[in-house]
Structure 1
Amino acid sequence: DGVKNFSGKWAMDSLIEGDRNVTVHSPENISEWALYNQQRLLEEALDRIRPGAADRPDLYVLGIAGWGEQEVFRREINFIETQFSHLFDTAERSIYLVNSRRNIDQRPLATITSIDHAIMRLSEVMDKEEDILFIYATSHGSEENGLALGHSGLTLEGLSPDKLSKILVSSGIKHKIVVISACHSGVFINPLKNDTTAILTSAAADNTSFGCGDDEKFTYFGRAYFEKSLENSSDFIDAFRQAKSLITTWEEEQSVKRSNPSIYTTRTIENKLRQWKLSLGPASKSASRTKDPVSAH
């Protein structure tokens, strides 16, 4: 969805009069809803996952919008859900976990438990030796704690690189593409890397990344990678290289310190991606060009 402005009357952090199409939940409502309804939402999402084709590798997707205080992360996940369903037919092979005050009653929250359960459910349905798991996580981040998970009304533990590594090892899923968009997201590379996993990050371990303003549709990395590069690239790795070039240009234009998007990849996972991509047939193409204002996340 696009970025929209809404006007209305507020009282005690609640919208009491305004656009009938928008609901912004209070922290108290979010806590109550999560307590009684979150397990049902998660189970429904997990139950919707279906096996892919038996005669070729398939792509499975886990999307994570980690920070519920800013809607840009939810918007990225919404875009990716539509894009991947169109390009790769992943509607029945994907789970999206989103922290947002706008869709608490529509998607499961992104928590350590829901991420663990989602990956384990995907591992049960997919062919762990032949299929590919694509993870995209977008949020704030830090060198100390990894990916921030936060929501108004709830206190959530962050997703550390070591924790994500342990979950992925336990899942037994062999081929993985892990894409992390957050400040200092390069800290995920060393704990996750192996011969059958590619890790793509929006920033080096010691750098910030940009574009997390609440009025944005994408972070810098999300726009460069998904909107500008993916549909015009040969695969996920090539899209990263295109996106890094775009981001470097944007950061030079804004005179900010480079985020230095980072990648770890191997010949094994790239060969697997080529095998998978060949099984898809021709991909659709699209392109548009815009520039974003700067804000770090």
Structure 2
Amino acid sequence: MRSILPFALALLALPAASAQQQPYTPPKHTAPPPPGIARSTPEEVAQQADGGTQIERDRPATYALAEHRRLTRALGTLLPQRKGVVDAYVLSIALDSDPVFGREAREAGKVLARRYDAVGRTITLGGSDGKAPSPLPMGSPANLEAALARIAEVMDEQEDVLVLYTTSHGAPFGVVYNDGNEGFGAISPRRLAALLRAHRIERRLLIISACYSGVFVPPLSGPQSAVFSAAASDRSSFGCAAENDWTFFGDALVNRALRKPQPLEAAVTAAIAEIATWETRGKLKPSLPQQSIGVEVQAWLKPLEARMPKVATAPVGKPSVDSLQAP
């Protein structure tokens, strides 16, 4: 008589195999924020954003340790600065867990690291790319602060440059931190300006991809500062649906213009023109991206651009403008 053991073992394996075939579902925003945020007045929300407020709730018991380990690994990868060389330190951060931002921050980190010779001097923070749980530290206010502090430790503020790319939903008070139903907070222009000032980071290229992100431009402008926003302070930007690969701004500026060996100002001009074309096609209210380039920016930008790769790379992902064709 034949043994039924192999057949029984095969049956026992079926549930596990089926479970493995289930597609990953990224975090979704299905619950309201905590009462301390939901019941706040606009003035109180602005005050919270000025403080870099972050609220976590209903996290698993092991979450804090796992996040600590992810952040420690990320911060430990930075190479030291090179004396006599203008080094760029890139920080690319997705502050919302919708996969569009995770995908955008990942690719932006790669594009900016390649363009500005910052491989080994780049940190990327963000949630899932939609395919699997994220191995990265989350893009939270606290992790942003830790990353800036670490970059300040290894860079020479008299010689090197911070390249900061942030992508998220935005509001008139700043950029929003929202990790599923568990993480909440915001960062205001005043808060970001205070952090950069505390670390004496004056040489900086700051790119803010979010609705209303023009609020960041005046407070962060300065002689050695270049600041670019996806929208004016009273306008929305577009393309931030969770299923997209890029926002309009990220696609036009990072995925297309900054991949080419052209000067920063030319890249921004080309990106703004392309965004305007897309918005016209979709009959959308113009987002009016903003910019400020300080009078001393060329002192650090010129040597960085002299080392730019001479060959462009191809855009990746689904074009953001394709979202206009969605039902």
**What's the TM-score once normalised by structure 1's chain length?**
0.85
Segments of 5+ residues of structure 2 without an aligned counterpart are 1-17, 30-56
Q: Which residue of 2 aligns with 1:230?
A: 258
* 1:128 and 1:173 in contact (8 A); partners too: yes
Within the candidate set 152, 177, 200, 1:123 is matched to: 152
For 2:105 and 2:91, how far apart are their aligned partners in 1?
10
Contact 1:31 1:154 in 2 (8 A): no
Match of 1:39 in 2: 68
Answer yes or no: is 1:139 the counterpart of 2:141: no
For residues 102-113 of structure 1, what are the structure 2 equivalents within 5 Å? 106-113=135-142
**Deviation at 1:84?**
3.1
Match for residue 207 of structure 1?
Answer: 235
1:277 aligned residue: 305
Deviation (angstroms), 1:96: 1.1
Alignment partner of 1:158: what SS?
strand
Kindly report the root-mean-square deviation, in angstroms, between the aligned alpha carbons of the 2 structures.
2.5
Deviation at 1:274, TM superposition (A): 1.1
Larger displacement relative to structure 2 (108-117 or 92-101): 92-101
**Structure 1 residues 182 and 294, CA gap change in structure 2 (3 angstroms):** farther
163-172 or 75-84, which deviates more: 75-84
1:19 aligns with 21
Give the Å deviation of 1:86.
3.5
Alpha-carbon distance in structure 2 between the residues aligned to 1:22 and 1:285: 33
What is residue 61 of structure 1 aligned with on the other side? 90
What is the letter of the counterpart of residue 116 of structure 1? E
Stretch deviating more after TM superposition (244-253 or 187-196): 187-196
> Does the 8 A contact of 2:93 with 2:125 survive in 1?
yes
How many angstroms does 1:233 deviate by? 4.7
Q: Is the 8 A contact 1:192 1:199 kept in 2?
A: yes
Distance 1:31 1:90, change over 3 A: farther
Answer whether contact 1:210 1:219 (CA < 8 A) is retained: yes
1:25 Cα deviation from its structure 2 partner? 6.4
1:187-206 aligned within 5 A: 187-206=215-234
Displacement of 1:193 after TM fit?
1.2
Contact 1:244 1:261 in 2 (8 A): yes
Given the two structures, how large is their TM-score scaled by the length of structure 2?
0.77
Matched residues in 2 for 1:104 and 1:112: separation? 20
- The residue type equivalent to 1:215 in the other structure is E
Distance 1:53 1:191 in 2: 30
User: Hey, what's the Cα distance between the residues in 2 that align with 1:281 and 1:190?
Assistant: 28
Structure 1 residues 97 and 221 mapped into 2: Cα distance closer, same or farther (>3 Å)? same
After superposition, what is the alpha-carbon deviation per residue over 1:223-269, rounded to whole angstroms, capped at 9, x for unaligned? 00011111225233321111000000110111110000110112211
- 1:167 equivalent to 2:169? Answer no
Task: Report the count of equivalent residues.
Answer: 277
SS of equivalent to 2:83: coil
Deviates more, 1:83-92 or 1:242-251: 83-92
Measured against aligned partners, the alpha-carbon deviations of 1:167-223 in whole angstroms (never above 9, x if no partner) come to 000111220011000000000011111111111000000000000112211000010
In structure 1, the partner of 2:7 is: none
Match of 2:125 in 1: 97
Letter in 2 for 1:178: L
Judged with a 3 Å threshold, the aligned counterparts in structure 2 of structure 1 residues 275 and 223 are, in CA distance, closer, same or farther, namely same
The AA in structure 2 aligned to 1:122 is I
Give the 5 Å matches for 1:262-273: 262-273=290-301
Q: How does 1:251-270 map to 2 (within 5 A)?
A: 251-270=279-298
Deviates more, 1:18-27 or 1:107-116: 18-27
* 2:222 counterpart of 1:220: no
Cα separation, partners in 2 of 1:86 and 1:177, compared to 1, 3 Å:
closer
* 1:231–1:283 Cα contact (<8 Å) kept: no
Secondary structure of the residue that 2:226 maps to in structure 1?
strand
Unpaired runs of 5+ residues, structure 1, are: 1-15
| CA gap 1:39/1:53 in 2 versus in 1, 3 angstroms | same
114-123 vs 224-233, which moves further: 224-233
Query: For residues 118 and 230 of structure 1, what CA distance do their matches in structure 2 show?
Result: 24
Q: Which amino acid aligns with 2:142?
A: T
Q: Sort the Cα spacing of 1:81 and 1:29 in 2 relative to 1 into closer, same or farther, 3 A.
A: farther
Any conservation in 2 of the 1:229–1:242 contact (CA below 8 Å)? yes
Superposition misfits of 4+ residues, deviation over 6 angstroms: 25-29
